[in-house]
Amino acid sequence: MKSGILIRLTALAFAAAASAGLLHAQTDAQFTQFYELPSLYNPAATGRTDFLNIRAAGRLQWVGIDNAPRTFLGAADMPFKLLGQRFSTGLVMQQESYGLYNSLNLNAQIGYKRKRWGGEFTVALQIGMYDQRFKGSEVYLPDGDDYHQGSDEGIPMTDLHGTALDLGAGIWYQHKIWHAGLSVTHLSGPTIKMGGENGGDAAAGQIYEFKAARTLYFMGGCNIPIKNTLFEIMPSVMVKSDFTFTTGEVMARARYNKFLSFGIGYRWNDAVTATVAAEIKNFYLGYSYDYATSAIHSASSGSHEIVFGYRLKLDLGEKNRNRHKSIRIM
pLDDT of 328 higher than 90: no
As a whole number, mean pLDDT of residues 171-183 equals 95
The CA-based dihedral angle spanning residues 216, 191, 43, 274, taken in that order and rounded to the nearest 10 degrees? 60
> Alpha-carbon distance 78 to 92, whole Å?
12
Q: Which of 19-23, 101-105, 224-228 is predicted with the least confidence, judged by mean pLDDT?
A: 19-23
Contacts of 257 (CB under 8 A, 6+ apart): 230
pLDDT band at 137 (very low <50, low <70, confident <90, very high): confident
Closest CA to 235 of 215, 261, 254: 254
May I ask the CATH architecture of the domain 2-313?
Answer: Beta Barrel (2.40)
**Alpha-carbon torsion (51, 92, 167, 183), positive or negative:** negative
Alpha-carbon distance 272 to 302, whole Å?
10
**Alpha carbon distance 5, 23 (integer Å):** 21
pLDDT at position 199, please?
Answer: 47
pLDDT at 326 over 70: no
pLDDT grade for 167, boundaries at 50, 70 and 90: very high
Give pTM, 2 decimals: 0.84
Percent of the chain with pLDDT over 70: 81
